Chains A and B, each alone.
Chain A
Amino acid sequence: MNISFLNPFLLIGLVTVSLPIVVHLISRKSGIKKSFSAVSFLFSSQVETLRRSKIKDLILLIIRSLILVSLVLVFSKPNVFSLSYVDVDVNDVKTVAIVIDNSFSMGYGDNFTIAKNKAKSLIESLADGSFGAVIPLVPTDITEHVVTKDKRKMFEVLENIKLSFSFTDNERRLEDIFSFIGKAPNNKKEVFLFSDFQRNGWINEKFKREWLIPIDATSDSKMPNRAISDLGVKDEGDATKVSVKVSNYSNSPVDALLATLFLDNKEIKGFFRIEPRSEQIKEFIVPKGTLNSDETTGKVEISHDNLKVDDFRYFVHSQSKEPRILLVDGDPREDTRLSETYYLARAIETISEIFPLRLSIIDNDSFLSEKLKLKDYDLLIMSNVGDISTKKAFEIEEFLRGGGATVIFLGDRVRNDLYNVMLRNVLPAEIGAISQGDYFLNANELNQFTDEMNEKFRQVEVKKVFDLHPVKKTNIILSTSYNKPYLTQRKVEKGNIFLFAATADTAWNNFPITPVFLPFIKRTLDLSLSKQPGIRQLLVGESVEIDFPNSIDEVKIRTPSGEEIKVFRANPNFSHTLIPGIYAVKEDDKALYNFSVNIDPRESNIERVSLESISSRSGIERGFVKVFKEIWIYFLWGTVALFISESIIRFLYSR
C-alpha cells in the first residue's frame, strides 16, 4: 500500500510534535514559585507519588504528541492508493500469460519487486472466469506452466519465481509462450510481459505481436550501469597476466573505479577511468612464482552499483606446461639434412621459439623399446616408421584413448598391411597401395584452415601417395587434386590421430619446403594438443563435458552454493551451471580441478527498447492507474479519541 498527501507541504507542521516535549522539559525545570508552610509534608508525599507521576507524564506526553501528529495529518489530507490494472473490457473473460522477466538485469534496483507487485495487481484485477498462467521469462526450476482460474495458485507461482543469472533470448521464449497460451481455453488471449525491456534481449526491435502487452517494471528509465564485461588470463614468460575489461554503460564518466583481483589469498587493486558509453582494459600482472603451480582460481570485483551481479567475474587458470613431442624417425641418416624428420624437426623447433615445446627425436628401435613410455608425451609423430610391435601398437591405442595425439607420416619403409593390422582400431583410413602421379593439394571445405592457407595448398606438388580409404567418422582435411585423401583425422575417444598419405620429407612431395608447411604444422599441433588447456571458463547455462581422469568413473561437482552433484563417465555432460562462481570437480574428497562460470556480459548493457516498438496495440489505453482512497477522516477520529483519552487520563490522575 502506498500513501500520498494532497497537501504535503503541511507536513512541515510535524515539527510541532516537538512542542509537548519542549514544554514538558521546560515545565520540569521551572514552575510558579509559592511560599508554603508545610513543605516537609510535600517532601514525604513526593516519594510515593514520583513514579506514578513520571508514568502519567510520559503517557500524556505521548498522547499530546500523537494529537499533534494526527492533526497535521488531517490537514495534509493523506490518501492511500493501490495500482489497479485498467482494461478496456474489465469484465471480459480471457486467458492471460503473466510473464515475469527474471533475467539478471532485472536485479537492477527494485525492478524485480516492481514487476512482481504489478503482476500481483494484474492477477487481482482479472475478471472471474479468466484463466492465467504465471511464467518466468528465463526458465528456472519451474518448467511446467499451469493455466488456472485459481488466483491463489497464480500468486504462489509468482512468489516462487526467482531472479536468474541468465541472459535470455526474449523473442524465442515469447514465441514458445504464445504457442503455449494459444492452446489454452478462451478465445481472447493476452500475454503481459513485465520487464525492463533491455535492448539486448531483443534481436528484432520491431517485434510486434497481437497478444503482447508490455508492462514497464522499472523505477527509472535511466539505468546507468558498469560491469566487468570480459576477463582473460594468459601466461607470458615468467608472469601471468589477468586482463580485465570494464564497461561503462552510462552517459557520465566513471572516475577512479576500484577493481580488485583476488588471487590465491592475494589482492591486487587497480583503478579504472572510463568515458561515457565506453570501456577500458587493464592488465594485472602476477609473477608466476607467487601462484599455485597447477591451478589458480580467482575473482575480479569492481565497486558495486545498482546491479551487483555483473560487478564481479571468476576465473580458473591452469599454468600451461610445455607440450612434450616424441618424433620417431624411421629413416635416420648421419647427415641430418637427409633424415626423414629433418624438415619436421626444423618446423617444430621454429614453432617452439614462440610456443615452448619439448621435442625428442628417436629412431625406430628406441621407439620399440619397453623403456619408452608414450604416456610421458603429449604428441607422437611417426615418420616413415617401418616396424611396429604388437605391444607398441597396443600402447599407441591406449595413448590415444587417454587423450594423446598421434601424427603418422608414411614412406617407403612403411608396410601398409602391418599398419592396417596393428593399428586397425585407431587408423583414420585403411592404407592401400602406392599411387604415383602429379597432384596438388586441396583443403576440405569443412576444415579449419584460413582461406589464405587453402590457396597455398595448391602450390604443393605431390608425386607419390598411399591410397587412403577412410573409415567411418574420419575427417578428410586435405585431398589431392585427384580427390585422393592426403590428410585424414579421426577422434579416438579423447585422443586425435592424423594420417598423412605421403612422407614428411621431400622424397614424395615438396610440401616440407612450401611456405604453407610451417603454419600447417603449427595448426596440426594446435589441433593435436587441443585437450591441453581444457575448457575452464563457462557462461551461466552452458554445459560442459567433464574430463574424467583414468580409472575414475564418477566425480562430484560442488557448485558455488555448496550443492554437490554426481557426474558419471557414461554421461559426462554437466549443465547445472545456474549460478556464477567456481565449480570444483572432486573424486570423493580429492580435488581434481575447477572451472568457472560467469554471467553473460551482454545483459549488463541496460539500454532499453521502446514499449511501442514491441507492442502492436499502441492505440489502446492500457496500463496501471492509481486508485486513491482518502483516509484523513480516520486521523480526525483518531485526534478526537486522543483528546478524550488525554482528558480521561488527566482526570484519573488528578483524583
Chain B
Amino acid sequence: MPKDIIDIKAALRLKGFSFRISSRVKGIKAGIHKSQHKGISPDFLEYKEYSYGDELKHIDWRLYGRHDRLYVKKFEDEVNLSWCMLIDRSGSMGYASNGNNKLDYAIRLSATLAYLLLKQGDAVGIGDFSDNDLKMITPKTGIANLTPIVEKLNSFNAYGNTELKEAILRAIEKTKKGSAFVIVSDFLIDLDKIEESIKLLRASGREVIAFQVMDTNEIEFNFDGSIEFIDMEGENKILVDSGDIRDAYRKRMKEFIERLKFVCLQHKSRYVFSPTILPIEDVLIQIVEK
C-alpha cells in the first residue's frame, strides 16, 4: 500500500511547491529546472568573451561591431531533473528512543519526497547503503514509478554497516551527470568518509542534499544511571555513568553535526538536519524553492 509510508499531510501541504536545486542541471526534456545547456532556450543569460571551442553560431556579431571584441551569448534552458535517493538502512538506523525508529522516519521522508518529485515531473530512483544492493531503482519519471519505490522502501530493515562510498559508486553508474543525490542517513560514521563520498559525487557532476536523521537521545543523551551501551553496528560495548558522560557527549555530537554541515557547505551541497521528532513537511519545506 504505497500510501502507508507517504506522509499525506506533508504531501498535501507541499503539493504546490517546487523542489529545486540551486545549480544548473543537464536535461533534454522541458522541466522546471534551469539547464546548463546554453543556447536552445529563448531566455538570454549572459555574455562571455569568446574562447577557443565556443560555438561560432553563438557569437553576437552586433556586439563585435560595437566593441570590436568577440562575445558569445549564453541562454538558460529549463529541463526536468533526475533524482537519486540513497537511504541508509544500516543497523544504527534502527535506533529509536520511543516509537518509530530512524529508518521508519527516513522511509517516510523518502517516500513523501519521491511522491512530490514524481508529481512535479522529475525522474526519481532509489537505492540503499547496504553492502550489496544490486536492485537499485534507476530514476524514472511518471507517478507509476512510485509503486516500486514504495515497495522497495517497505522492504528495508535496519541491519549491517554503513557503506556510503560503495553505495554512491554504484549509484553514480546508474545515474546521469547532473542528477541530484538525496542521501538520507544518520551519518554516524567517520566524517572523512562522508567528505570523501560527497567530493566523489560533486566531482562526478552530481548535486547533493544530505538529510541527517537523528533521534532525540542521540542528540541530547537523556539517559540516567549506569548503562552498558552496545554498538548497533558492531561488537563494541561500553559501560558508562550517563550523568558523568552526558556533557562531554553532547559537546562532541554538536561538534560533529557542525562539522558535517561545514563539509556539505564546503562542497556546495545542502545539509538538512532531520530529527525524528520534526514533522516530515517541516524537513522537506527546507528544500523547496523559495
Q: Which residues of chain A have a CB within 8 Å of any CB of chain B?
A: 27-28, 30-46, 48-49, 52-53, 56, 650, 653-655
Q: Which 5 A-B pairs give the minimum distances between C-beta atoms?
A: A37-B92, A45-B248, A31-B226, A39-B231, A37-B95
| CA of A625 to CA of B232, assembled, Å | 73
**Interface core residue of B93, B186, B236 (most chain A CB under 10 Å):** B236
Which of B238-277 touch A at CB < 8 Å? Answer: 238-241, 243-249, 251-253, 256
| CA of A31 to CA of B240, assembled, Å | 8
Chain B residues lying within 8 Å of A32, measured Cβ to Cβ, are: 225-228
B215 contacts the other chain (CB 8 A): yes
| CA of A500 to CA of B263, assembled, Å | 136
> Are A41 and B244 neighbours in the complex by a CB distance under 8 Å?
no
Q: Could you say which of B188, B234, B243, B248 contacts A38, with CB atoms under 8 Å apart?
A: B188
| Given known A-B contacts A37-B218, A654-B243, A655-B247, A44 and B252 have beta carbons under 8 A apart | yes
Chain B residues lying within 8 Å of A56, measured Cβ to Cβ, are: 244
> Are A653 and B238 neighbours in the complex by a CB distance under 8 Å?
no
> Are B244 and A49 neighbours in the complex by a CB distance under 8 Å?
yes
Interface size class of B (residues with CB under 8 A): 35 or more
Chain B residues lying within 8 Å of A36, measured Cβ to Cβ, are: 95, 229-232
Nearest-Cβ distance from residue B164 to partner chain A, whole angstroms = 15
Nearest-Cβ distance from residue A74 to partner chain B, whole angstroms = 29
B237 contacts the other chain (CB 8 A): yes
Residue of A nearest to B223 (CB): A34
Chain A residues lying within 8 Å of B237, measured Cβ to Cβ, are: 39
8 A–B pairs (Cβ distance < 8 Å), ordered by A: A27-B226, A34-B228, A35-B231, A40-B231, A41-B249, A41-B252, A43-B236, A46-B245
Chain B residues lying within 8 Å of A49, measured Cβ to Cβ, are: 244-245, 247-248
| Given known A-B contacts A35-B95, A41-B253, A43-B236, A653 and B228 have beta carbons under 8 A apart | no
Residue of A nearest to B234 (CB): A39
Residue of A nearest to B256 (CB): A41
Q: Could you say which of B92, B94, B218, B240 contacts A46, with CB atoms under 8 Å apart?
A: B240
> Are B239 and A37 neighbours in the complex by a CB distance under 8 Å?
no
| CA of A412 to CA of B234, assembled, Å | 136
Nearest-Cβ distance from residue B96 to partner chain A, whole angstroms = 10
Chain A residues lying within 8 Å of B249, measured Cβ to Cβ, are: 38, 41-42, 45
| CA of A650 to CA of B228, assembled, Å | 20
> Are A42 and B245 neighbours in the complex by a CB distance under 8 Å?
yes
| Given known A-B contacts A46-B245, A56-B244, A653-B243, A37 and B232 have beta carbons under 8 A apart | yes
Which of B181-237 touch A at CB < 8 Å? Answer: 186, 188, 215, 218, 223, 225-234, 236-237
Residue of A nearest to B230 (CB): A35
Chain B residues lying within 8 Å of A37, measured Cβ to Cβ, are: 91-95, 102, 186, 188, 215, 218, 232-233
> Are B238 and A42 neighbours in the complex by a CB distance under 8 Å?
yes
Nearest-Cβ distance from residue A478 to partner chain B, whole angstroms = 108
> Are A30 and B248 neighbours in the complex by a CB distance under 8 Å?
no
Chain A residues lying within 8 Å of B91, measured Cβ to Cβ, are: 37
Nearest-Cβ distance from residue B42 to partner chain A, whole angstroms = 52
Chain A residues lying within 8 Å of B218, measured Cβ to Cβ, are: 37-38
Q: Which residues of chain B have a CB within 8 Å of any CB of chain A?
A: 91-95, 102, 186, 188, 215, 218, 223, 225-234, 236-241, 243-249, 251-253, 256
> Are B240 and A35 neighbours in the complex by a CB distance under 8 Å?
no
> Are B229 and A42 neighbours in the complex by a CB distance under 8 Å?
yes
| CA of A650 to CA of B224, assembled, Å | 12
| CA of A38 to CA of B188, assembled, Å | 7
| CA of A654 to CA of B226, assembled, Å | 13
Chain A residues lying within 8 Å of B229, measured Cβ to Cβ, are: 34-36, 39, 42
| Given known A-B contacts A37-B232, A45-B245, A46-B238, A31 and B225 have beta carbons under 8 A apart | yes
Chain A residues lying within 8 Å of B236, measured Cβ to Cβ, are: 39-40, 43
| CA of A25 to CA of B248, assembled, Å | 24
Residue of A nearest to B229 (CB): A36
Known: A39-B232, A39-B237. 12 other contacts (CB 8 A): A31-B225, A33-B230, A36-B229, A36-B230, A36-B231, A37-B215, A39-B229, A39-B230, A39-B234, A40-B231, A45-B245, A53-B245
Chain B residues lying within 8 Å of A40, measured Cβ to Cβ, are: 188, 231, 236
> Are B228 and A33 neighbours in the complex by a CB distance under 8 Å?
yes
| CA of A41 to CA of B243, assembled, Å | 15
Chain A residues lying within 8 Å of B92, measured Cβ to Cβ, are: 37-38
Residue of A nearest to B243 (CB): A654
Chain A residues lying within 8 Å of B243, measured Cβ to Cβ, are: 650, 653-654
Chain B residues lying within 8 Å of A30, measured Cβ to Cβ, are: 228, 239
| Given known A-B contacts A37-B186, A39-B236, A39-B237, A48 and B228 have beta carbons under 8 A apart | no
> Are A39 and B238 neighbours in the complex by a CB distance under 8 Å?
yes
| CA of A41 to CA of B188, assembled, Å | 9
Chain B residues lying within 8 Å of A39, measured Cβ to Cβ, are: 229-232, 234, 236-238
Residue of B nearest to A27 (CB): B226
Nearest-Cβ distance from residue B13 to partner chain A, whole angstroms = 30
Chain A residues lying within 8 Å of B247, measured Cβ to Cβ, are: 49, 655
Q: Could you say which of B188, B233, B241 contacts A53, with CB atoms under 8 Å apart?
A: B241
Nearest-Cβ distance from residue A417 to partner chain B, whole angstroms = 121
Nearest-Cβ distance from residue B259 to partner chain A, whole angstroms = 13
> Are B239 and A31 neighbours in the complex by a CB distance under 8 Å?
yes
Chain A residues lying within 8 Å of B186, measured Cβ to Cβ, are: 37
Chain A residues lying within 8 Å of B232, measured Cβ to Cβ, are: 35-37, 39
| CA of A56 to CA of B243, assembled, Å | 11
Chain A residues lying within 8 Å of B102, measured Cβ to Cβ, are: 37
Chain A residues lying within 8 Å of B256, measured Cβ to Cβ, are: 41
Residue of B nearest to A32 (CB): B227
Residue of A nearest to B246 (CB): A654
Residue of A nearest to B236 (CB): A39
Chain B residues lying within 8 Å of A38, measured Cβ to Cβ, are: 92, 188, 218, 249, 253
> Are B228 and A31 neighbours in the complex by a CB distance under 8 Å?
yes
| CA of A458 to CA of B70, assembled, Å | 176
| CA of A27 to CA of B186, assembled, Å | 32
| CA of A32 to CA of B227, assembled, Å | 5
Chain B residues lying within 8 Å of A653, measured Cβ to Cβ, are: 243-244
Chain B residues lying within 8 Å of A650, measured Cβ to Cβ, are: 243
Residue of A nearest to B218 (CB): A38
Q: Could you say which of A42, A654, A655 contacts B240, with CB atoms under 8 Å apart?
A: A42
Nearest-Cβ distance from residue B263 to partner chain A, whole angstroms = 17
Residue of A nearest to B93 (CB): A37
Nearest-Cβ distance from residue B160 to partner chain A, whole angstroms = 13
Chain A residues lying within 8 Å of B94, measured Cβ to Cβ, are: 37
| CA of A653 to CA of B243, assembled, Å | 7
